[in-house]
Amino acid sequence: MKMIFFVVGVLIISAGILWITIDHPFTTTAGNSVGRKVLYYTCSMHPWVRESKPGQCPVCGMNLTPVYANESGDAPDTDSNSGTVALEPDSISTINVQTDSVELRPLRRTLHFSGQIAGNSYQTAWFEFTAYQRDLEWLKIGQTLNVFVTGVPDKIYTAQIKEHGTKPFADANFDMMTSSTTVRAEISGAPIQPGDFGKHKLFNGLHAEAHLVAETEPTLTIPRSAVISRGIGPMVYVDIGGGHYAPRAIELGRIGDEFAEVLAGLKEGEKVVTTGNVLIDSEAQLTTGE
């Protein structure tokens, strides 16, 4: 008799577990705790993609990543007034959110110029090149350029922008039609006189190219990858702690190769999102409707 009651009890418990499993399944995904609710699946490269099931992005073919509800079961927390987005730790890891500090550092910008050899004589020569308005904030007296002449492929000439030379370092007038002016850099050392055709002969008007790595004084900067532009001016997402990311409108100055100068909107030491910011911004727009 006891054995019969034991068997019946086991059957009842097994039936109960089966009923819970079928009618009330747990929401589980790899690497996440039981009971987490997946709202949708999206692509980190194309955040507007939203699918109800896991799979591949219809745009690029990457595996879709899940976006989870917060503890109340609702959409990821977003302050409709400020646009602040709150992400769960798993979501931060999934979309690979990375940050970098707002710091004082020099800006570096690699500039490329096209021009010609001019004023070649026994004593001196110049590399004359066109500098557009966007280049002028990077140029200054005393900078040295490496000049490459097509006709002399195995030689690099050094030219310097000099304040006091036999020729002015730049034209006094700015060409508004082309938004440019002509700048001159004096080639160091006695240039080779044109004469017989052959190696290492420099002729006036000969085409030349030059490279210059301009560097500024230390200034407040952020990585260029942190900047988002969507028609309302530059902005970034600031990590305010606890998985919360707040949008911040900023004013930019000079743009270097890797970093951008910040004129207003951020303070030294704050952390801005450099990776995953596009997905965060997409979530903020979808939630706030902006």
Neighbours of 218 (CB within 10 A): 10
Query: Is the separation of the CB atoms in 129 and 138 below 8 Å?
Result: no
Q: Which residue has the tokens 């900047």?
A: 227
Q: In what order do the strands lie in the sheet with 103-105?
A: 103-105, 219-223, 259-264, 251-255
d(CA 106, CA 256): 9
Domains and CATH numbers, the chain: 85-105+218-288 (2.40.420.20), 108-215 (2.40.30.170)
d(CA 157, CA 204): 15
d(CA 256, CA 176): 25
Q: Which residue has the tokens 């939203």?
A: 50
pLDDT of residue 124: 80
Query: Is the separation of the CB atoms in 68 and 90 below 8 Å?
Result: yes
pLDDT of residue 30: 37
pLDDT of residue 31: 39
pLDDT of residue 196: 59
Q: Is 142 left (phi over 0), alpha (psi -120 to 50) or beta?
A: left
Which of 184, 50, 67, 48 has the alpha carbon at shortest distance from 116?
184
Pull the structure tokens for residue 204: 């006036």
Tens digits of pLDDT across the chain (290 residues):
544 544 445 444 444 444 433 343 333 333 344 556 777 787 766 666 778 888 888 877 888 877 766 544 455 554 444 578 888 888 888 889 999 999 999 999 999 999 999 887 777 889 999 999 989 999 999 999 999 987 777 888 999 999 887 778 888 888 888 899 999 999 877 566 565 566 666 778 889 999 999 999 999 999 999 999 877 789 999 999 999 999 999 999 999 999 999 999 999 999 999 999 998 888 777 766 55
pLDDT of residue 13: 45
Pull the structure tokens for residue 78: 């977003």
Pseudo-torsion of CA 247, 284, 85, 276, nearest 10°?
Answer: -80
CA dist 184 to 36, 160, 192, 256, Å? 66, 8, 19, 23
pLDDT of residue 84: 85
74-92 burial string, b = 16+ CB within 10 Å, else e? eebbbeeeebbbbbbebbb
pLDDT of residue 26: 31
pLDDT of residue 8: 45
pLDDT of residue 147: 93
Neighbours of 202 (CB within 10 A): 19
Neighbours of 25 (CB within 10 A): 8
